[in-house]
């Protein structure tokens, strides 16, 4: 059973192409005129010839129309002007490319599936793009230990399919699974919808192979769950967004594929009731609880409108999607039924539906997973501010109300919140008819400062990338940022790897 069909992804991609806005994407250097290009070499014919000695011709793109898509992020918000894309097939080619670039002082933008939202995976200026697209081999799957070893360019959904055949599943799942690469997932420490059940990549990734800026290969590709021999270097690559090294291989421990999955979709009166129901779910569903997602009415109604689907429950101010997965269908159903009955008896749940039938579960998941795209493609929402933040439960939804207050009387179409409430991870979206510096100033840095004030994180899942470097200090202390700079110096003394990302300019 697959919860997220390829068909749905294709449907979404089609919508993206027909988007009302972003017909042309301004160059990042134009939109951010204060930014200065680093003192890196400009790519010449000589460099291209050298690249051709390292990889074969069909692994190099230089035709502007071929290169263009690699320069633009999927949100069409940032756009570099790189003239060359390199597609190494293996670690050795990556090593040779980086060694040459380091020697020649050429800036490099490592690129996976280009599904990030903070501009981390496309060039800012003319960095050479090194795409992991052709590094897409599964090296091994051990059905006994559950360990998967693969190249960095494997697409998440393909990994999950291959694992499914061996009775295993990926501990990571997210909306972009049809195109994101595992190397990018690891480099950004992707979170997603299974985080609640299986935890973070720091816990699940057993080993990493990465290439440093100087081309040296760091083989930390261990497969043992327990290995306390020296500093845990692999963990430094998790979430460093390609600025410390280019991840080439990953070993990850994969749990058994659940035998039974059920999804409940419920309507609620208030956000407080969502928190109460979440506590009830933790107690009643406990070890079989595998997702607890929330969405407010505006988020949900965007999906209903854009995809012309029918809501499975009556109109409510809030909705939640609850998934269980376990080893015994009747046990799980019994737990879920008891949980829902208690929730209704306590007046927390207004209306609800529950199913274990694959196609119906898929429909319910689409209501949640379709939101980001639906908001982007509502006709009246031509510019969307997307904030990916963590907040303590008490403040989780309050930020949405705070934003609405600040936007009162302004020309905005939508201010909504949805996300992984089980992980305290909110996606706050504000859409407006067209880009407005006034609205930007109302929202920023307000959202980030408010989040920091309550001990949240200004970037829960998506990293700092290019877009949030100036706000890093709100989530990290000056001493920590200083140490980060020193680490960057150790791994990449010339600063050729993914420049202008993660760390703010000094």
Stretch 139-168 residues interacting with a second copy (CB under 8 A) = 144-145
Q: Does 506 bind a second copy (CB under 8 A)?
A: no
Taking the least distance from each CB to a second copy, the nearer of 88 and 239 is 239
Q: Does 423 bind a second copy (CB under 8 A)?
A: yes
- Tell me how crowded residue 329 is: count the other CB atoms within 10 A of its CB: 14
Nearest to 425, CA basis, from 450, 464, 387, 388: 388
DSSP string, 282-347: HHHTGGGEEEEEEEEHHHHHHHHHHTT---SS---SEEEEEEEEES-HHHHHHHHHHHHHHHHHTT
Taking the least distance from each CB to a second copy, the nearer of 273 and 381 is 273
Angle made by CA atoms 485, 489, 494, in degrees to the nearest 5: 120
Question: What stretch of H or E contains 7?
Answer: helix 6-17
Q: Does 26 bind a second copy (CB under 8 A)?
A: no
* Matching residue, tokens 């949900």: 300
Nearest to 270, CA basis, from 306, 304, 238, 317: 317
Q: Does 232 bind a second copy (CB under 8 A)?
A: yes
Pick one of 60, 424, 442, 446: the residue that binds a second copy (CB under 8 A): 424
Is residue 407 within 8 A of residue 303, CB to CB? The reply is no
Stretch 77-116 residues interacting with a second copy (CB under 8 A) = none
Q: Applying CB under 8 A, what is the total number of residues that bind a second copy?
A: 87
Taking the least distance from each CB to a second copy, the nearer of 144 and 345 is 144
Taking the least distance from each CB to a second copy, the nearer of 140 and 440 is 140
Task: Find the radius of gyration of the CA atoms of the chain.
Answer: 23
Instruction: Look up residue 92 and give its two tokens.
Output: 């050795």
How far apart are alpha carbons 153 and 168 in whole angstroms?
20
How far apart are alpha carbons 3 and 56 in whole angstroms?
39
Pick one of 59, 169, 240, 299: the residue that binds a second copy (CB under 8 A): 240
Pick one of 98, 155, 458, 497: the residue that binds a second copy (CB under 8 A): 458
- Choose the binding region for a second copy from 23-31, 41-49, 86-94, 218-226 (rule: CB under 8 A): 218-226
DSSP string, 198-236: H--HHHHEEEEEEE-TTS-EEEE----S---SS--HHHH
- Choose the binding region for a second copy from 23-31, 130-138, 261-269, 473-481 (rule: CB under 8 A): 473-481
CA 5 to chain centre: 18
Taking the least distance from each CB to a second copy, the nearer of 43 and 218 is 218
Pick one of 194, 462, 467, 494: the residue that binds a second copy (CB under 8 A): 462
Q: Does 395 bind a second copy (CB under 8 A)?
A: no
Q: Does 472 bind a second copy (CB under 8 A)?
A: yes
Residue 88 CB, nearest distance to a second copy (Å)? Answer: 19
Stretch 260-279 residues interacting with a second copy (CB under 8 A) = 275, 279
Stretch 312-371 residues interacting with a second copy (CB under 8 A) = 326-328, 331, 334-335
- Choose the binding region for a second copy from 71-79, 91-99, 436-444, 474-482 (rule: CB under 8 A): 474-482
Stretch 187-216 residues interacting with a second copy (CB under 8 A) = 188-189, 191, 195, 199-200, 202-204, 212, 216
């Amino acid at each position: 059973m697959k919860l997220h069909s390829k068909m749905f992804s294709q449907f979404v991609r089609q919508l993206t192409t027909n988007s009302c806005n972003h017909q042309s994407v301004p160059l990042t250097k134009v939109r951010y005129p204060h930014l200065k290009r680093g003192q890196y070499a400009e790519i010449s014919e000589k460099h291209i010839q050298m690249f051709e000695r390292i990889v074969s011709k069909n692994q190099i793109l230089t035709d502007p129309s071929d290169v263009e898509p690699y320069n633009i992020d999927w949100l069409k918000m940032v756009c570099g002007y790189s003239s060359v894309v390199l597609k190494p097939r293996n670690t050795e080619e990556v090593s040779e490319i980086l060694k040459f670039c380091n020697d020649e002082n050429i800036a490099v933008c490592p690129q996976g599936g280009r599904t990030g939202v903070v501009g981390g995976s496309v060039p800012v200026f003319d960095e050479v793009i090194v795409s992991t697209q052709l590094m897409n081999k599964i090296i091994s799957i051990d059905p006994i230990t559950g360990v998967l070893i693969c190249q960095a360019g494997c697409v998440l959904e393909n990994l999950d399919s291959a694992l499914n055949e061996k009775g295993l599943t990926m501990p990571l799942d997210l909306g972009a699974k049809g195109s994101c690469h595992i190397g990018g997932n690891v480099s950004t420490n992707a979170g997603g919808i299974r985080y609640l059940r299986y935890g973070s990549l720091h816990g699940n990734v057993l080993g990493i192979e990465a290439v440093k800026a100087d081309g040296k290969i760091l083989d930390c590709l261990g497969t043992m769950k327990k290995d306390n021999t020296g500093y845990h270097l692999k963990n430094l690559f998790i979430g460093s967004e390609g600025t410390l090294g280019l991840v080439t291989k990953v070993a990850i421990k994969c749990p058994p594929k659940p035998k039974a999955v059920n999804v409940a979709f419920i309507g609620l009166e208030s956000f407080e009731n969502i928190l109460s129901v979440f506590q009830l779910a933790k107690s009643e569903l406990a070890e079989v609880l595998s997702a607890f997602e929330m969405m407010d009415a505006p988020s949900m109604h965007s999906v209903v409108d854009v995809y012309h689907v029918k809501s499975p429950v009556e109109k409510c101010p809030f909705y939640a999607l609850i998934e269980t997965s376990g080893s015994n269908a009747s046990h799980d159903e019994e737990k879920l039924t008891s949980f829902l009955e208690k929730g209704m008896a306590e007046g927390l749940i207004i209306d609800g539906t529950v199913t274990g039938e694959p196609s119906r579960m898929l429909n319910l998941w689409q209501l949640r997973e379709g939101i980001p795209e639906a908001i982007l493609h509502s006709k009246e929402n031509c510019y969307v501010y997307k904030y990916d933040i963590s907040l303590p439960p008490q403040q989780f939804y309050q930020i949405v109300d705070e934003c609405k207050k600040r936007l009162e009387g302004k020309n905005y179409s939508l201010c909504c919140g949805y996300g992984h409430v089980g992980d305290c991870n909110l996606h706050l979206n504000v859409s407006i008819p067209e880009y407005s510096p006034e609205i930007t100033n109302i929202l920023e840095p307000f959202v980030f400062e408010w989040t920091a004030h309550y001990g949240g994180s200004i970037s829960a899942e998506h990293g700092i990338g290019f877009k949030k470097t100036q706000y890093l200090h709100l989530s990290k202390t000056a001493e920590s940022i200083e140490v980060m700079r020193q680490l960057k110096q150790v791994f990449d003394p010339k600063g050729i790897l993914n420049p202008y990302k993660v760390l703010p300019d000094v």
